[in-house]
Amino acid sequence: MQIDLSLKIADDGDDQSEGKGEEEQEQEEEGIEDKEKEKRKDQEDGFDPIEEGQKEEDISPVRKPLPENFKSDELCELEEEMNRMKKENEVLRKVVEQTMNDYHDLQIKFAAIRKNAQDNSFLSLGSKEEADKRTLQLVLAPNGNEIDDGKELGLTLRLQPQYEEEEKIKNTDVYDHKFDQKGSVTATTRSSPPTANRKARVSVRARCQTPTMNDGCQWRKYGQKIAKGNPCPRAYYRCTVAPGCPVRKQVQRCLEDMSILITTYEGTHNHPLPVGATALASTTSSTTPMNFTLSEDQDHLLSNATTILDTTSTAPHFLSSYYSSPYLRNSTTSSHYSPFNEHIINSSKYLWTPPSTSSSDLGRSGRSYRFSDQYWGSDKLKWGGKDEEKSVAESVGGIMAVASAINSIIDKEGQAA
């Protein structure tokens, strides 16, 4: 067995089969590479203009040992590129600042409007009529970019009286389109009219290319129907995590925007939820303790959402801010406490936990599906890959958990009345 060492001269040093002397050389080279990495990292971290000048000085001595030809040409290109990136950074920073300012203005205006429109108590357990009037909205934008971007995802959580919703359905057979035009997910928890039997029902609107949203639960399709007024078929799914689980969901494309998926969850789980399915913690019994976990991806989404609505980094803060402006600027805190959290915990025994990873890719078949004479490709082939899919799913899960918590509150309220 022969090894042609002559070929190793130009090697990058990854091959472990080299001789001892070469290993030492590798270590030296790795040392240089480590320094280079640190310097590159310094360059990449240079977001703060205050520190940029300092880092510029730190970097310069490092470049001296570089080869002459590299220094003259590529170094100049790198510097030019760096300057360009700095300028882009400045521009982006201004955009973010502007967005934040706009948001705060809107927040203030909205708080004033709300104050006039209804009493100040947040989701108080007062009269059912009052509760029915309350509307809760959560808007997320994972990319923080243009809303018209196809990949943009917004989340809207709405609490709305069921009889109003049903009136809309009667008229149009599609839900409120108010938020559709900006690529949003809308979660609507329905509370029935005061006299009707209340049944947990959460509707989620999502701009989604896949046939269904991955919410972490396992579902079995048991039917499909063309609903009046919407040529897109409505699919019926049943939870199969545990036998006899009564939870069902309906999935239908929005008539006016085929890219929007309307998913309606109904019922109460009779089993512990799989990790990542905290989404449907939602419709679960309010007496069942459960964890609402945010994955890193979801936290990322929520963090980015701050460019639109808040400077907070978690859903609970985000929600609380909507109702209570003093919590708006608690952006730097890592605490998950908010009056909203407390309310949910006290009312529904939900536990908000710090971000952690969660898995969710259950029950996917990877096949093609037909929607109104259109074929929607495999889940995994579209929607920008697994990570994005996961993020969306988990975000939807989060919003649904919140929606369900509200549902539980309403249910309790109904029982108490």
> For residues 34 and 239, what is the distance between their CA atoms, to the nearest angstrom?
51
Q: What region does 13 belong to: left with phi over 0, alpha with psi -120 to 50, or beta?
A: left
> How far is 186 from 70, CA to CA, in rounded Å?
53
Give me the 245-284 binding string for DNA, x by CB under 7 A, dash otherwise: ---x-x----------------------------------
Is 218 a binding residue for DNA by CB under 7 A? The answer is yes
231 touching DNA, by CB under 7 A:
no
- Interface pick for DNA out of 173, 257, 361, 388 (rule CB under 7 A): 173
Counting contacts by CB under 7 A, is residue 372 touching DNA?
no
What long-range pairs does 339-342 form, CB within 8 A, spacing at least 24?
339/122, 340/122, 340/316, 341/316
Choose which of 44, 332, 366, 416 interacts with DNA (CB under 7 A): 366
| Least distance CB 173 / DNA (angstroms) | 5
Distance CA 253, CA 73 (A): 55
Which candidate, 276, 253, 256, places its Cα nearest to that of 372? 253
Closest residue by Cα to residue 389 from 356, 362, 416, 409: 362
The reply to whether 376 sits near DNA by the rule CB under 7 A is no
Backbone angles phi, psi at 343, to 5 degrees: -60, -45
Distance of alpha carbon 312 from alpha carbon 159, whole angstroms = 21
- Rule CB under 7 A: which of 105-164 touch DNA? none
- Interaction of residue 398 with DNA, rule CB under 7 A: no
Out of 93, 220, 380, 386, the residue judged to bind DNA by CB under 7 A:
220
Q: Does 367 bind DNA (CB under 7 A)?
A: yes
Measured over the CA atoms of residue 284, residue 290, residue 296 and residue 301, the dihedral's sign is: positive
Question: Min. distance of Cβ 229 from DNA in angstroms?
Answer: 6
Using CB under 7 A as the binding rule, whether residue 227 contacts DNA is answered as yes
Q: Which stretch, 24-32, 118-126, 139-147, 358-366, contacts DNA (CB under 7 A)?
A: 358-366
Rounded least distance, CB 227 to DNA, Å = 4
The site for DNA, by CB under 7 A, has a size of 26
Per the listing, tokens 């703060």 go with 48
195 scored as a contact of DNA (CB under 7 A): no
Least Å from the CB of residue 266 to DNA: 8
CA angle 47, 319, 288 (to 5 degrees): 125
Of 109 and 225, CB closest to DNA: 225
Q: What is the DSSP string of 264-318?
A: EEES---SPPPTT-GGGGTTS-TTS-EEE---HHHHHHHHHHTTTT-S-SSHHHH
- Which range in 127-135, 220-228, 333-341, 347-355 contacts DNA by CB under 7 A? 220-228
Applying CB under 7 A, which residues contact DNA? 173, 218-229, 234-236, 238, 240, 248, 250, 363, 365-367, 369-370
